Amino acid sequence: MQAEAERSPAGLIAASVACARCPACGADIDMRRAAGNELSMRRCPSCRSLCALPFPSPEELAAYYNSDYSVIDAGLTPRRRANWTPLLEKAERLAGLRNGIEIGSSTGAFLRLATERGWTMAGVELDARARQAHARTSPDIPVRATVEAAREAGIDHADAAWVLHTIEHLPDPEAVLRETLDLMTPGAPIAVTTPNGMSLECRVLGPLWEWWTPPAHLTLFSPRGACLLLERAGFEIVSVETRRGDSSGAAANAALAPARFLKRRLRGERQQRSSVSSVTQRVAACINLLYDPISNPLRGRLYRHHQGPELVIVARRPGPRTNRPDGLETMGEAAR
């Protein structure tokens, strides 16, 4: 086991996926259609998820995340609160006690919001820079580099889990979800958000879509693919929906596509900077302010048919909510 500082972004996974196999459903993907060693997003013939093939090695991912990729934390913005609060509310309806864990906690904004609502939280985050930023703002909320490290630190059960815009970054998300399942109490819910590879925006804009960004995003899951992934990891699906979420929106994506094309040509395809307060996001907000009143009816229909840009899947660990390992009853059991 490597030391935490030496772990690459692929360190959460048990083994790198080296073959052309869909991370969502496990189906084979014809590698003959991929261009040499250059990353190419290919549709899985079975679940229709988009996969970046050939998958980078753990060393290549480590080099990428330590150079071209960066996340700028904007804290708990009103938009983040609006996106995350429903995920917390649903967990509060489904969970027993309020011990939660977030996989891929970044700089800890969601952890802080959950703590505000009375949750006792822990996080898992591979990026040492993100963990350091979190430690400066919320040192009382523990964050470890891996699920295994969290377990070794005594974080050995959770009444709910959140995996927010994380599975698309992992070569083997099933392994991470299985590790998370092992931490969860019977009946505990898990909320997963991820870009929707079958959204209208993705299918129309293709490589110019804001979330079509290999090697940062290795898999753009279809609704079916994401559900199959969770079921293969041992979860039962509770609900599936799509929404705008963290996306810039259809009109903004289309309007900004030419600028995105020029930016990628000048800076390179691999360079990614993510910020919820960037100039691009502010421009997108202005475009949506004008366009949304016109598009609301159409957007509502698209989202109901699972064609919105962000997937939100709630699942649960099988089994009824039972007495916790420490002997404490869940809130549901105590109420009965």
Cα–Cα nearest to 298, from 228, 251, 229, 241: 251
Strand pairing report for 310-316 and 236-243: antiparallel
What percent of the chain lies above the pLDDT cut of 70? Answer: 81
> What b/e readout covers 145-182, taking b as 16+ CB neighbours within 10 angstroms?
bbbebbeeeebebbbbbbbbbbbbbbbbbbbbbbbbbe
Q: Which helix H or strand E contains 52, and what residues bound it?
A: strand 50-53
53-105 per-position pLDDT tens digit: 877 777 787 777 777 676 667 788 888 999 999 999 999 999 878 999 999 99
Q: Which segments of 117-272 does DSSP mark as H helices, in order?
A: 128-137, 147-152, 173-183, 200-205, 223-232, 250-267
First-residue to last-residue Cα distance in the chain = 45
CA distances from 36 to 32, 55, 131, 198, 296 (A): 9, 12, 36, 26, 43
Q: Which amino acid is at 8?
A: S
Give the number of other Cβ atoms within 10 Å of residue 122's Cβ.
21
Query: What span, in angstroms and rounded, lies between the C-alpha atoms of 150 and 147?
Result: 5
Cα–Cα nearest to 98, from 80, 107, 111, 81: 111
Which has more confidence, 145 or 278?
145
Confidence class of residue 31 from pLDDT cuts 50, 70 and 90? low
Q: Which residues pair with 40 in a beta bridge?
A: 53
Highest mean pLDDT among 42-46, 161-165, 247-251: 161-165
pLDDT at 13: 33
Angle, CA 88 vertex, CA 85 and CA 92 arms, to 5° = 135
Query: What span, in angstroms and rounded, lies between the C-alpha atoms of 267 and 211?
Result: 17
The mean pLDDT of the chain is: 83
Confidence class of residue 273 from pLDDT cuts 50, 70 and 90? low
Average pLDDT over residues 256-273: 70
Residues in the chain: 336
Q: Is 213's pLDDT higher than 60?
A: yes
